[in-house]
Amino acid sequence: MQSPNLDRLASEGVLFENHFCSAPQCSPSRASIFTGRYPHSNGVMGLTHADFAWDLNPDERHLGQILSDAGYASAGVGVIHETRSGGKRCGFIDYAAPSTAKEVADLTISRLKDFSKLTDKPFYLQAGCIEPHRLPQPDGNSDQGFLGGRLQPDSSHGITIPPYLRDTEGTRTELAELQGAVRHMDEHMGRILSTVRESGLDRNTLVIFATDHGIPMPRAKCSLYEPGLRTSFILRYPQRDGWHGGIRHKQMVSNIDCLPTILDLAGIAIPANVQGRSFAPLLDGRAYTERDRIFGEITYHDYYDPRRSVRTASRKLIVNFSSAPAFMDPSQSWRPRADTVVPANHALAYHPAYEFYDLSRDPWEQKDLSKDPTYASVIEQLRKQLAEHLTATRDPILNGAVTPPLHQRAQAWLLS
């Protein structure tokens, strides 16, 4: 994988080695980043676009709104997927929608140059590109890959097959495509980072690079397994000790912690309903209570498949609320090219009620130990912790099946 510009950002900034998303999918995860709240709390329990139609609850406060109200100039460029209501809902005074990495970089660079001229107020700029998401092919009937008819695969440094995938020609082809898409995205992120330096903003600007979920390969994106929940998170703020210098942190953090950390740095009051915790004290070297568990969830994506999880440093419990297939396939293809090691036959594998993995011995979660009596007490402890979390945060899954927006629309039309 070649990402020299992001590697440089990490070498100059702070890299979190154990950063997790709240949900292994686009909209719910992004909604958590920008509200500091879990998807089942902020209302985005599925995709926001088209007839999926999930959206932030009316009273949810987006990071852009909070900063705009605090006097920041604000702008958005590219992908907004945490709401279906557009840039204004996010508090952006200015918003441009193009989503390819080059277009996003072009517009972001333009906005940065404008912001560099400001003398009376700070700024907030949110930019998101589509790559390395799977892309439509020029032939609309073709299966999706990562190139979209315009990018090139990259295997110049070889291909490493993660242990949860079978080493097949199809897997290698897809990973080469993914590597090419990452390299392309990194090139344009490099252009943005160069502009931050060249425009004189570098010293006094907090830069954050994050991904919203794991890679869209089988048993990764759309799953509560490690490859779906682990995400990239790099920040750099040269003006403050501990916020730059090639530091790496191993503490577990969740993407709901991003918003309170930003507000903490900016000296803005953190809303009382925020469920994340600021890790600014960790960066500053002050007293910090690190997380001893991480919670994950998915309710809707392509279809209804509600799952919840709790993870400690070495153990994970996943609770499944439906008998859906063992994993939701994120390939967006009729004929997926990559295959998993477990389950051996995806077509005949379905969710058990719950799964348990010993991550210290099985980091790729290939062996479900939920029926192993050796772990009975650990499983019981995790069960209680997850139940307490879902109860405390009023997760609607505890009240029964969750109804999607389309159900409500169809019902209203049927009975009209």
Q: What percent of the chain has pLDDT over 70?
A: 100
Residue 203 domain boundaries: 4-284
273 and 327 fall within a common domain: no
**Any idea what the CATH number is for the domain that residue 210 is in?**
3.40.720.10
Check whether 143 has a pLDDT greater than 90: no
Mean pLDDT score, 213-220:
96
Residue 181 within a domain? yes
Residue 117 within a domain? yes
Q: Cα(260)–Cα(34) distance, rounded to whole angstroms?
A: 10
How does 366-399 read in b/e, with b if 16+ C-beta sit within 10 Å?
Answer: eeebeeeeebeebbeebeebbeebbeeeebebee
- Render pLDDT for 273-297 as a digit per residue (tens, 0 to 9): 999 999 999 999 999 999 999 999 9
Check whether 140 has a pLDDT greater than 90: no
Both tokens of residue 50? 């088209």
Residue 255 within a domain? yes
Look at residue 247 in the predicted model and tell me its pLDDT. Answer: 98
Cβ-in-10-Å burial (0-12, 13-18, 19+) of 225 comes to buried
Whether 59 contacts 333, CB under 8 Å: no
Whether 219 contacts 225, CB under 8 Å: yes
Look at residue 210 in the predicted model and tell me its pLDDT. Answer: 98
Residue 77 within a domain? yes
278 and 404 fall within a common domain: no
Question: Which pLDDT band holds residue 224 (cuts at 50, 70, 90)?
Answer: very high
Question: Which pLDDT band holds residue 130 (cuts at 50, 70, 90)?
Answer: very high
252 and 122 fall within a common domain: yes
pTM to 2 decimals? Answer: 0.97
Question: Which pLDDT band holds residue 141 (cuts at 50, 70, 90)?
Answer: confident
225 and 353 fall within a common domain: no
User: Which residue reads 């048993």 in tokens?
Assistant: 219
Q: What percent of the chain has pLDDT over 90?
A: 96
299 and 280 fall within a common domain: no
Q: What is the DSSP letter of 330?
A: -
Look at residue 142 in the predicted model and tell me its pLDDT. Answer: 84
Q: Cα(109)–Cα(101) distance, rounded to whole angstroms?
A: 12
Mean pLDDT score, 8-29:
98
Check whether 171 has a pLDDT greater than 90: yes
- Render pLDDT for 336-375 as a digit per residue (tens, 0 to 9): 999 999 999 988 999 999 999 999 999 999 999 999 999 9
- Average pLDDT taken over every residue of the chain: 97
How does 64-102 read in b/e, with b if 16+ C-beta sit within 10 Å?
Answer: bbbbbebebbbbbbbbbbbbbeebebbbbeebbeebbbb
278 and 403 fall within a common domain: no
Which of 232, 253, 284 is the C-terminal boundary of a domain? 284
280 and 325 fall within a common domain: no
Q: Cα(112)–Cα(106) distance, rounded to whole angstroms?
A: 10
Beta bridge partners of 253: 19
Residue 289 within a domain? no
Both tokens of residue 252? 């577990």
60 and 207 fall within a common domain: yes
Which sign does the torsion angle of CA 252, 384, 308, 319 carry? positive
Question: Which pLDDT band holds residue 69 (cuts at 50, 70, 90)?
Answer: very high
Which of 266, 284, 302 is the C-terminal boundary of a domain? 284
79 and 100 fall within a common domain: yes
Q: Cα(16)–Cα(341) distance, rounded to whole angstroms?
A: 28
- Render pLDDT for 235-280 as a digit per residue (tens, 0 to 9): 999 999 999 999 999 999 999 999 999 999 999 999 999 999 999 9
Question: Which pLDDT band holds residue 52 (cuts at 50, 70, 90)?
Answer: very high
121 and 256 fall within a common domain: yes
371 and 242 fall within a common domain: no
Look at residue 66 in the predicted model and tell me its pLDDT. Answer: 98
243 and 308 fall within a common domain: no
Q: Cα(232)–Cα(255) distance, rounded to whole angstroms?
A: 10
Whether 130 contacts 97, CB under 8 Å: no
Question: Which pLDDT band holds residue 139 (cuts at 50, 70, 90)?
Answer: confident
Beta bridge partners of 316: 311, 357
Q: What angle do CA 294, 299, 304 make, to 5 degrees?
A: 150
Look at residue 225 in the predicted model and tell me its pLDDT. Answer: 98
Residue 74 within a domain? yes
Q: Which H helix or E strand runs over 113? A: helix 101-115
How are strands ordered across the β-sheet holding 14-16?
Answer: 207-210, 233-236, 14-16, 247-249
- Render pLDDT for 90-103 as a digit per residue (tens, 0 to 9): 999 999 999 999 99
Which of 248, 265, 284 is the C-terminal boundary of a domain? 284
Residue 138 within a domain? yes
**Any idea what the CATH number is for the domain that residue 356 is in?**
3.30.1120.10
Look at residue 183 in the predicted model and tell me its pLDDT. Answer: 98
Look at residue 317 in the predicted model and tell me its pLDDT. Answer: 99
User: Which residue reads 């953190």 in tokens?
Assistant: 270
Residue 262 within a domain? yes
Number of independent structural domains in the chain: 2
Name the nearest CA neighbour of 365 among 156, 173, 223. Answer: 223
| CB neighbours of residue 410 within 10 Å | 12
